[in-house]
Structure 1
Amino acid sequence: MSANTLGELFRVTNFGESHGPAIGCVIDGCPPGLMLSADDIQHDLDRRRPGTSSVVTQRSEADRVEILSGLYEGLTTGAPIALLIRNTDQRSKDYGNLLDTFRPGHADYSYFRKYGVRDPRGGGRSSARLTAPTVAAGAVARKWLLEHAGVRITGWMSQMGARVIPFEGFEHIANNPFFAANASLIAQLEEDIRALKGDSVGARIEVLATGVPPGWGEPIYDRLDADIAHAMMGLNAVKGVEIGDGFASVAQKGSEHGDEMTPEGFVSNHAGGVLGGVSSGQDIRVSLAIKPTSSISLERRSVTRDGEPTTVVTKGRHDPCVGIRATPIAEALLAIVLMDHALRHRAQCGDVRHTVMPVPARRPG
């Protein structure tokens, strides 16, 4: 199985299965001299990990990260950084009835058609459990970006199912299990989850990167927005990615969508901080559409490997809305892409000097 690596200069290779002994990643290309400890990574893993509230899967994993290589006396050495997260709460017996049956909405059928064999335990390689190493790698990228470029990345849930969650303030995100930038709707969101009764809903996630300087990205094939979309589509259950206004741009006129510039800065940010595949210095704005969880306890029609009709009820412990825990993962993926492009820009254009004043970026508020 190939294609498990993301990035060019900052490269993250993900390994493991949902019910194997451990999962993890190898980060290759992290610059030397970054002060790093397990605690720097653990914070983000704790935000993503299961079993932390009544509205997410009750699989209880500590997700304690172990740094196996790439550090000396607390500093990165430039060598590959290997990160390991041990699985401790697998219940493989919950999947014993699925070896010869394909679950609707899952990768069971497509994986079997591609590889001729599949691991049915929790989805194996296709499980959202494999997002934990992504979050761990993203924590390393976030630390470097903040310390070396002043870039901050924040995500939040803006919609769950049909319920739109109005933005009230960044300060609310850390105070509820939904990562909602809202304090007034939490009780209603919890009631929405209880009302599902074995079914599931999707979600919309917003991610914002502030402090990104102009010039990161490449033209044509390695555009910054293209790489962001590529990475985000690698997140389980993502079915749509928007940069800036996204599909709302269809209804806009050119006179409205094009972000005018003044000596004081950009007047708007419909482009989402990327022009021609290169960062403009404005905030990078990304929005994700996440489908409803496929693992539900309601009976669904399917077929066996022999093509016989059957029905499936997915047992085990699953998120009624996978979007609830997606926010820190989306943040991590954006951090990895921005880190990669920061290093690529430094390698090619680090000595570029400007003879004209740049247009100031428009800041939030």
Structure 2
Amino acid sequence: MRTLPLASALALALFLPSSPAVRAQGAAQGAPPTATQAEEGFRVVNRTGQEARTLNAVRAGRPDWAGNLLPRPLADGATYRLRPNPQAGCRFDIRLVLADGREAVKRDQEICTQREIALDASTVVAAGSAARPPSPETPPSPQAIPRPGVRAATGTGFLVAGERVLTNRHVVDGCDRVLVRGPDGRNHAAVPPARTDANLDLALLAVPGLTGPVLSFRQDPPLRRGEGVVAFGYPLTGLLSSDAKLTRGEINGLAGLRDNQDQIQISAPVQPGNSGGPLLDMQGNVVGVVVSKLNAQAVAGRTGDIAQNINFAVRGERAAAFLRAAGVTPAAARSNGADRSAADVGEIAERATMFIRCER
């Protein structure tokens, strides 16, 4: 983090009690969902061309499919309604096991805003190919093992495409080696050189073997002062716990220090180690890349007053333009729906946010 001087059964527990069999029958007969039903959860639609014998719905990334949620087979064209427990989060993996044994699967579905998940013939795979046994641990390569006793600095980054991680340039500047640790705890070695922009203080790392969900950049509407934001990253490594940290705040200003139009000012608390982490709006879309905080001691020495909680992030649209110039097309989304809880936004960020270790 740069400090800127003034001058610079578990499956069933995921769902609330309901009467899904009745609702499934009504939907199969073509009855449209009412407003009350829409508020109760989301619908899984069988459009595979044959009857489904099993329905599984588990939180995204879970290593098994848990239990069957269907009380009876689900006909082709029929709909089954589920009411997730509010504590279950917004991202689910969905599977139908069909009469011929094949499986229809959709993963990482956003069920808080997407009220209908349709599984059609394009989602069907061979029997057993969607099974989810826990992945065996693969020993890291020697290039991905942290070296003890070397001088190291840390920061944060996030996945913007397969094997591509966005962070700050100052996080990786002058490093002999850069290690990227994913949410699963495994380290990957970045391959130099990184694509960088000194003016924006951004860097795009190539990290072979690192894949997973990517974060979407907010496309519209334009940012406004006072909007809630969440910063997610790995501050003060070695002092705080090793897990990621979430802080909440607001957009205070639409420009950075001395009217820097490439940045926004935020009140979400950030510390050394947060650099390069995502700044998300309350729908889980990226609106910035955390970059710096004001040096309160320098300000106090010059003005006699202690500046409080003045932090900055690179604007999301500037970061997205940097990615496109580097040959990466970032995912984009509109933030037009209802705000989520900070916990839900944190779950979205956690799957794509990486710990970065710079060894010198």
TM over 0.5: no
Category of TM-score, reference length = shorter chain: under 0.3
Report the structure, 1 or 2, having the larger helix content.
1
**Normalising to structure 1: TM-score of the pair?**
0.25
Higher Cα Rg: structure 1 or 2? 2
Larger strand proportion of the pair: 2
